[in-house]
Amino acid sequence: MGTKGERRPIRRRRVLKSAGASATFAILAGCTSNKGNGGGNKGNGGTKTSSGEYPNLSGKEVHFLTDETAEGIQTVLKNFVADFKSTTGASVNFETMGIGGTAQNRLSQLIQAGSPPEAFFNHDHSGSATLVSQELLAPMTEGMQAITDQFGTPPDGTRIKSQGGEDYFIPTTAFPGVMWYRKDIVGDVPRQMTWEKFAQVVEENDNKQGMRSFFALRGKDTCTALTTAIWGSSNGGYIAERVDGEVKAALTADGNMEKWTKVLEFTKRIGQHSPRNADAGCAEAIQAIPTETASISGYVGARPKRQTINQKKPFADKLVATHWPRPKGKEEQVTYGTPKGLVRFNTDNNKASKAFWNFFIKEGYYRKAVLAQTPAAWPVFPGITETDQYDQLKNKLMDKGWTQRDLEVMQWVTAHSKAPAADMTPPNPSIGVFYGALDLAELRYAVELDGMTPEAALKKYNQQIQEGFDKSSGA
């Protein structure tokens, strides 16, 4: 855990940092900053706006990464970068990467080159837990406090804190596990169902209007792994535990194996009412409802609903959100698709990166960026949904086919879920390794389609998960 805070900066090998270039750049940056739209008052030491005071960062460069490519969020980030540059005089190298594994690969390149970026927008929680364990991140406690003051406290399961109490990750949005239903086929169902009730709904509604009642995921894919983790956590099952400070696979741990066995028996039972889709992953789960393949589909987030609306399906407003089913009497938090958030790296440019995120938070860009992702992902800080801007967004969504219930479910599930890494404290630094290997997806396939018993599969994949942890011991 990164308890050393800012004491261990990584040396950078930037070739372009010659004194002459810096001086020239400082002059240029200083000139351009006067033309900015920051609207602040510049003193010798920095700039004051109505929301905060920022240092003069002329001659400093912030390398800023994101893998958010959607137009709305890109607009917010570009405006923010322009505003920050004009207010502080800093230059910003704004780099957008492709989605998927590209961000991880790029980060690895930069870190290996000894030149990590200063800031990353919407880095995933699991990967951030790994970065903290490698002491690569700098604390964000001040920023976290500023957001908490504005928007309340985020769920504990979305935070990454050191033993010293420092926050290293400021969550923005999460992808809550939600079950989407065609109300016009399945009928009204309660917001929270037990496993038994859910199984009954699935069994009674199979093959209605030529479609299966449930869409199960078994392909070797991230969404299969995530939804399997959600099913597991709904019964209190966990994946790993800390033994003498080391992360160990725990699918076969005392008490846990019984929970997972029941999970796999249950998913196999309801999976009989799904298309026999051994190749289904995220894309198929999103499209299952709009293509009328199934009437119920679970997903991490709201894409099934958005796709149904975007494809102008007549049943879009009949597609309703419900909490992920839990066994009777179980109150455990279920797992998210990993939350995303702000991180800053521990470099020799810490002053600039700190000012960068402070500016983002205090000047209103945090709220704008979060709402630009809503409802694809849901805001983690509860107060965001109490703002006027959220109300405007909500009205637009309800005009398009969203229901009050959909929004309430998204909000409730977000507040009552936990990140995959938050199974333990401090968060599991190896959870990204585990999800990358897709072992849970293989486990699901083995039991539901390959005829393996839950017990045998749990033993096999527990060993495989442990081998993955062992191989990833790293430096």
In the complex, which residues of this chain contact another protein (CB under 8 A)? 10, 101, 104-105, 107-108, 111-114, 130-131, 134, 136, 218-221, 275-280, 284, 287-288, 291, 293, 432-433, 436-438, 441-442, 445-446, 449-450, 467-468, 471-475
Q: Which is nearer to another protein, 22 or 350 (CB)?
A: 350
Least gap, CB of 188 to another protein (angstroms): 27
Beta bridge partners of 340: 124, 173
Tokens 């290996």 map to which residue? Answer: 112
Q: Which is nearer to another protein, 209 or 392 (CB)?
A: 209
Q: Which is nearer to another protein, 287 or 338 (CB)?
A: 287
Least gap, CB of 26 to another protein (angstroms): 28
- End-to-end, the C-alpha distance of the chain in Å comes to 15
- The span from the CA of 6 to the CA of 91, in Å, is 22
Q: Which is nearer to another protein, 83 or 284 (CB)?
A: 284
Q: Which is nearer to another protein, 275 or 383 (CB)?
A: 275
Least gap, CB of 265 to another protein (angstroms): 20
Q: Which is nearer to another protein, 280 or 410 (CB)?
A: 280
Q: Which is nearer to another protein, 239 or 377 (CB)?
A: 239
Q: Which is nearer to another protein, 23 or 283 (CB)?
A: 283
- The span from the CA of 6 to the CA of 348, in Å, is 9
Q: Which amino acid is at 282?
A: C
Beta bridge partners of 296: 181, 214
Least gap, CB of 279 to another protein (angstroms): 3
Least gap, CB of 130 to another protein (angstroms): 6
Least gap, CB of 98 to another protein (angstroms): 12
Least gap, CB of 161 to another protein (angstroms): 19
Residues 411, 384 contacting (CB under 8 angstroms): no
- The CA-atom distances, in angstroms, between 404 and each of 286, 299, 318, 416, 417 are 21, 19, 12, 18, 20
- The span from the CA of 161 to the CA of 132, in Å, is 9
Nearest to 347, CA basis, from 2, 1, 6, 3: 6
Q: Which is nearer to another protein, 99 or 113 (CB)?
A: 113
Least gap, CB of 328 to another protein (angstroms): 33
Least gap, CB of 428 to another protein (angstroms): 14
Q: Which is nearer to another protein, 111 or 376 (CB)?
A: 111
- The span from the CA of 353 to the CA of 344, in Å, is 6
Neighbours of 454 (CB within 10 A): 20
Report long-range pairs for 449-455 (Cβ below 8 Å, ≥24 apart).
Answer: 449/218, 449/276, 449/278, 454/260, 454/261, 454/264, 454/265, 454/268, 455/257, 455/261
User: What is the radius of gyration, based on Cα positions, of the chain?
Assistant: 23
Under 8 Å CB-to-CB from 381, ≥6 apart: which residues? 147, 148, 150, 151, 152, 153, 154, 171, 370
Least gap, CB of 287 to another protein (angstroms): 7
Least gap, CB of 283 to another protein (angstroms): 9
Least gap, CB of 181 to another protein (angstroms): 19
Q: Which is nearer to another protein, 15 or 475 (CB)?
A: 475
- The span from the CA of 374 to the CA of 371, in Å, is 5
Q: Which is nearer to another protein, 24 or 134 (CB)?
A: 134
Residues 173, 302 contacting (CB under 8 angstroms): no
